[in-house]
A and B are shown apart, each in its own frame.
Chain A
Amino acid sequence: MTEYLIRRLLLIVPVLLLISLLAFIVMEAPPGDFVTSYMMRQAEAGALFDGAGVEEGLRAMWGLDKPWYVRYLRWLGNLLRGDLGYSLFWQAPVGEIIASRFILSMTVALAATVLVWVIAFPIGIYSATRQYSLSDNAVTFVGFLGLSIPNFLLALIMMYLANRFLNISIGGLFSQKYVTAEWSWGKLLDFLGHLWVPIIVIGVAGTAGLIRILRANLLDEISKSYVEMARAKGLRETVLIMKYPVRIAINPFISSIGWVLPGMISGDVIVSVVLGLPTAGPLFLQALRQQDMMLAGAYIMLISICTVVGILLSDILLAVVDPRIRYH
């Protein structure tokens, strides 16, 4: 087990290096660079430059004239020292720009994940133990609805309904007066008051998905002989369901921890844009459009680290709960 852990931890290093390289290549892929898009925006704004000279000057100033591997290595070197780089668009260190937003993203995603679990778990069990009953069919139907409605559409619908019937505006994560304010009890309460909208929007599809996974896994397990054996021993139905099939059907839940969280952070960029959330997603989208490489790269790296660490955590947890994995 210890050896396994060390091996897994060591493996993280090359994986992250590879991801950083891939991220860099992908960011380089579109034609042009920050200067091109910068000049374009300037031109749109009506400013006129003597093209070539200025562009070259800017490139030299920002180091964009160097070959890609030089820029990559420089970026990587900074990353290793914990420096996320400098955003050319915001003219500020990436770390400063992204930190608070990324924490908000994590908070929203974490809250949504917890909600998804808390709701999906009992419903999945209920549904599986009453296969094809009226309630099971109802759950299945609602689940399919939840899975098939795109998140951004759900966000729009909720905004419309809230506006129309509750006469409130539910965009953002803070009320106007708190947006720039320091953290305080008032701001925290205000934040919690806003949090439920994105949580529901982001969580619905995840909940529906997990219910289906848990139900399918449980149905597989419930018909196995060890469950019948437990029943034939005289164990109470609820106890035996929780002790045997649920215990085994939960494995996919655990292995989902690794990707659910980063998936929720990154997958809901559109929702954040629609709802006007001050999270990292919209910032990332913007950075990509402006070819603000350092900012986009930092976002990708943060998500990747979340994913890699999450998967490691879920693998360890899986080994703890499942002896079959532990022993092999």
Chain B
Amino acid sequence: MDGKLLEVKDLSISFPTEAGVIRAVNEVSFEVPRRTTVGVVGESGCGKSVTARALLNIVQPPGRIDGGEVLFHGDDGAGEPVDLLSMAPKGAAIRHFRGKRIAMIFQDPMTCLSPVHTVGNQIAESIRIHDRDVSAGEARDRAVALLTEVGIPNPAGRLDSYSFELSGGMRQRALMAVALAAEPELLIADEPTTAIDVTIQAKFLDLIGRLQDERHMSILFITHDLGVIAEISRVVVVMYLGRVVEVGRVEEIYERPLHPYTQLLFRSIPNEHVPRKTPLAQIKGVVPDPFSRPPGCPFSDRCPSFVQGTCDAAVPPLYEVEEQHHARCFLYDEVDA
């Protein structure tokens, strides 16, 4: 891996609501190396999307960032990293990063494109926000090139299409073109394949892989599909209830998951890495709602290795169990010590 591009440190985000404060993200830390795909997995509601938005210093109301840093290491690591969270969320400084250095495609591809603006308009906009010298005609040409690059047939004709005229798969590709228009160094893709069917999904993953090779960008790929993660990412971040519970290289996590949650997660899906004869495991219980989280370790109420007096007493730290492989579980207390 070629050094870090982005570093998230102790990120905490909460949503004050009528019913109480939802601590959606708690002290989340991870790194995105250059030219690398990092996968983020976790069950619905564990804070993946909230974390992803925060990387662009975007929080949906009524949310607020309680602490932490998002350090962007520009220019091949030379010079000081900048903390994106220290910038005003509506200011000019952060806007130079959005789209230009970090682009994002949001979770719902069906509504990510404006229904009343053409695809070409939205691609050209991405280009011209960051480069005012580009003329309208030039932006159009570049939009055609981008649509070609993402594999949309008849790209020149598609420029004047509206999103509702495109199929799900084509829409996803058009969205990709919008995101890549300003040539970002990091692409955040929030569950880009969830809404499209499996055959198209496979082609789309191929496209992402190819684009990454050609453009040398990093990708933060968010999904709850472990199969997809295995296919495209090099590093995996496993989240549970707003916390990172395990981080490591993909082979290690698949071969030797450390955290009981990860172990169950990986055993609960049919997978080439797990021999078929082992029965699919079920994680007992359900994800607790934001207001009835267990004390101590967030997974303690569902954990098969639960130890009374330890696991419900404090939140375990993230132990470095092996090189580059961390787990947030007291099982590894001795290992670290």
Contacts and interface: CB of A to CB of B under 8 A. Distances in A.
A162 interface: no
Contact of A231 (B58, B108, B165): B58
Given A225-B107, A324-B116, A235 B56 contact: no
B112 interface: yes
Contacts of A81: none
B99 interface: yes
A246 B141 CA distance: 29
B114 interface: yes
Contacts of A56: none
Contact of B113 (A229, A235, A237, A327): A229
Kindly name the residue among B96, B106, B182 whose own CB sees the greatest number of chain A CB atoms within 10 A: B106
Contacts of B116: 247-248, 321-324
Given A225-B107, A228-B58, A235 B129 contact: yes
A231 B112 CA distance: 11
Nearest to A244: B114
Contacts, number: 79
Interface string B229-243: 000000000000000
A311 B117 CA distance: 25
Given A323-B162, A324-B164, A233 B112 contact: no
A89 to B, nearest CB: 52
Interface residues of B, number: 35
A231 B107 contact: no
Contacts of B105: 229
Nearest to A229: B112
Interface string B95-111: 11111100111111001
B98 A232 contact: yes
Contacts of B130: 234
What secondary structure prevails in chain A residues at the interface with B?
A: helix
Contacts of A232: 56, 58, 98-99, 103-104, 106
Interface in B27-61: 53, 56, 58, 60-61
A323 B114 CA distance: 11
Interface in B56-79: 56, 58, 60-61
Interface in A192-245: 223-226, 228-237, 243-244
B95 A226 contact: no
Given A225-B107, A228-B58, A229-B178, A235 B125 contact: yes
Interface string A305-328: 000000000000000011110010
B178 A225 contact: no
A229 B107 CA distance: 10
B90 interface: yes
B227 interface: no
B163 to A, nearest CB: 8
Interface in A226-284: 226, 228-237, 243-244, 247-248
Given A233-B178, A234-B100, A226 B125 contact: no
A234 B95 contact: yes
B14 interface: no
Contacts of B107: 225
Contact of B106 (A225, A234, A324, A327): A225
Q: Find the residue from A228, A234, A247 having the highest chain B CB count within 10 A.
A: A234
B115 interface: yes
Nearest to B115: A324
A286 interface: no
Nearest to B161: A323
A191 B64 CA distance: 54
Q: Which 6 A-B pairs have the closest CB atoms?
A: A234-B98, A234-B99, A233-B99, A234-B95, A225-B111, A226-B114
Interface of A: 131, 223-226, 228-237, 243-244, 247-248, 321-324, 327
Given A225-B111, A235-B129, A248-B115, 12 more contacts: A223-B60, A225-B106, A226-B111, A226-B112, A226-B113, A228-B53, A234-B130, A235-B99, A236-B95, A323-B115, A327-B162, A327-B164
